[in-house]
Structure 1
Amino acid sequence: MKAKDIMVTDVICVDMDERLPQVRHIMETNGFHHLPVTDKGKLVGIISDRDLLRLISPFIDSASEQPRDIDTLNRAAHQVMTRQPITVKAETPVDDIVAWLKRVDISCLPVTDNEDNIVGIISWRDLVNHATFKD
């Protein structure tokens, strides 16, 4: 089995200049945990829900909200993304994908073509959904 057999191909991405309120909205609306970031169609980074939890003030939309809390939302995707994410190709064997996820303690891998265009994404959930277990 290869990446192309299990990857999600309908990948929603954001531009590197997209602001965090829109990034957060896309992730919450779609139930995403990872959002690829592109520049002119090329993958340049990835934002995880953990990145947002770490950066956005927990006081947003609460009675305790302060102006400095709102300032956390003024950042652009490129300011908070993980740059140069580890990627795989569509022909990468699933065993290699599992090894990468375990080795570097990440929970998704973007799938790119030879020009760094994103063609899919694979998360640990995709691996579990396609797992076959031996008796």
Structure 2
Amino acid sequence: MFVKDCMTTSPVTISKGTPILDALEKMKKLKIRQLPVTDKGRLVGLVTERELLTVTPSPATTLSIFEMNYLLSKMVVGEVMVKDPITVNPETTMEEAALIMRENKIGSMLVMEEDELVGIITQTDIFDAFIEFFGLRKAATRLVLQVYDRVGAIADLTDIIRDMNISISGIVIHRRDNNLVHMVVRVNTIEPEPLVKELEARGIPVLSIS
């Protein structure tokens, strides 16, 4: 799965001369938390709800309402936006996108194809993608198995499940140490007992069933 499969295409943009109060109002209306900033059709930055709220005065401020409104009316998006935001291209994998966002502690990235803004990918899109990866929206049974890390371990497991005429909706590997791994397997059955019995008979401990 690639960024192009999960991103929001043709994202709403805002100009750098937009007052920050107008930007906040637009985010509230559209229920979004970030807006790409453009100048004459060219991407120049990114502004987020968090950054806009950071520059708005605290309720504890000694400024009067009139003074606050006056100051805020003079501030524009270009003063608080992130310049040169981190971007990815549509062919970036979702795994890479998640890693980039995590390492840079950001909640979204703009998607560029050459010099053209074609989309935006957010934390919510990442979560939705991984939910789909793991088949979490499908009715299934979740098994946690303990196996030795060796060549052919997954093949042996899938052979057993296939022979039981059960399909697999997802497999995740969690390494415990150099020799053992936990396999989290989602199988398309609501009666896992026969499979569990067969797995344990083959020397594959079932640690959890849910």
Matching of residues 23-62 of structure 1 within 5 Å = 23-59=23-59
SS at match of 2:9: coil
- Contact kept, 8 Å, 1:56 with 1:73, in 2: the verdict is no
Q: Which residue does the alignment assign to 2:118?
A: 119
Could you tell me how far 1:52 is from its partner in structure 2?
1.1
Question: What amino acid does structure 2 have at the position aligned with 1:49?
Answer: E
Q: Which residue does the alignment assign to 2:107?
A: 107
**Could you say what the CA RMSD is over the residues aligned between the two structures, in angstroms?**
1.4
By percentage of residues, which structure has more strand? 2
% identity of equivalent residues: 28
User: Any unmatched runs of 5+ in structure 1?
Assistant: none
Matching of residues 53-132 of structure 1 within 5 Å = 53-59=53-59, 65-115=65-115, 117-131=116-130, 132=133
CA distance in 2, matches of 1:87, 1:10: 15
Structure-2 change in CA distance of 1:97 and 1:91 (3 Å): same
- Contact kept, 8 Å, 2:56 with 2:72, in 1: the verdict is yes
CA distance in 2, matches of 1:43, 1:22: 19
What's the TM-score once normalised by structure 1's chain length?
0.89
Question: What amino acid does structure 2 have at the position aligned with 1:106?
Answer: I
Which structure carries more relative contact order (alpha carbon 8 Å, separation 6+)?
A: 1
What's the TM-score once normalised by structure 2's chain length?
0.59
Question: What amino acid does structure 2 have at the position aligned with 1:119?
Answer: V
Between the two proteins, the alignment pairs up a number of residues equal to 130
CA distance in 1, matches of 2:16, 2:34: 14
Q: Which residue does the alignment assign to 1:9?
A: 9
Could you tell me how far 1:124 is from its partner in structure 2?
0.7
CA distance in 1, matches of 2:58, 2:26: 18
Per-residue CA deviation, residues 34-74 of structure 1 (Å, 9 max, x unaligned), is 11101111211111111011011245xxxx52414530232
CA distance in 1, matches of 2:69, 2:57: 5
Could you tell me how far 1:2 is from its partner in structure 2?
0.9
Q: Which residue does the alignment assign to 2:152?
A: none
CA distance in 2, matches of 1:73, 1:52: 13
SS at match of 2:119: strand
SS at match of 1:57: coil
CA distance in 1, matches of 2:54, 2:70: 14
CA distance in 2, matches of 1:42, 1:92: 22
